[in-house]
Amino acid sequence: MLVRRVLVAGFVLALCLSASAQDNPAAKPINRDVARHKQFLKVVEKGEGDVIFLGDSITQGWEGNKKTWDAAFGAFKPVNLGIGGDQTGHVLWRITEGKEIDPLKPKLAVIMIGTNNTGGHSAEQIAGGVKAIVETLQKAKPDMKILVLGVFPRAGGVEKGADAPKEKLNPKIKAINEIISKLADDKKVFYKDIGDKFLNKDGALERKVMPDLLHLSAEGYKIWADAIKDDVAKLVK
């Protein structure tokens, strides 16, 4: 009888989790048939690229930091699949209906997505969107490894101190990252949070690294590259 109750409870829990995922607006594909997506389809036609980077404008920004990009990842024929303004749902559409990765046989996908969801979705919903992306990638490219990066810190308001205003960090980011860190199995899916590297000794954002307290400067991209280049090299082997 006890075993039966446990099985029933487990089945009910599974149904609830499934329903929760289906109801999550951050885990539903959102059409992203824009000009940049169309450009990607031409880029991937060759089928080249050991590493793909999936994300929003922060990932797209690598294009303005080509020297750092090439030095850190050039040996792996990296493909930048970042589109400004993207939320988790947009990335889901691009890798499913958008067919952006279909011609590719990458060894590694680097994902950093979710900051554009913070205005309208809960931390749990955003994390669910990241999970949906990971699961979709695993089904599409079962031999590929995935490096999930913690969502980078961003400003969430201004706190006036004794000497000068201090930018507060958006607390939703920490909550998202705590959840998505559990996606890692350290076999095919890996997680790394490099957010602290963008902060000063007081734990605050600096405009020399994030000029608008969200997007990275050239120095910020150098920090990013240095923080993951060894991981990328290891995971593509």
Query: Which residue shows structure tokens 């980011």?
Result: 173
Length of the chain: 237
How do 155-160 and 165-169 pair as beta strands? Answer: antiparallel
Q: Which of 57, 122, 181, 217 is catalytic?
A: 57
φ, ψ (nearest 5 deg) of residue 190: -125, 155
Question: Around 88, how many Cα atoms within 13 Å sit in the side-chain half-sphere?
Answer: 32
Q: Which of 102, 196, 212, 230 is catalytic?
A: 212
Nearest to 126 by CA among 155, 90, 96: 90
Q: Which residues contact 223 (CB under 8 A, 6 or more apart)?
A: 194, 197, 198, 209, 216
Angle at alpha carbon of residue 201, lines to 57 and 124, rounded to 5°: 45
Q: Is 57 a catalytic residue?
A: yes
Q: Is 212 a catalytic residue?
A: yes
User: Annotated active-site positions, please?
Assistant: 57, 212, 215
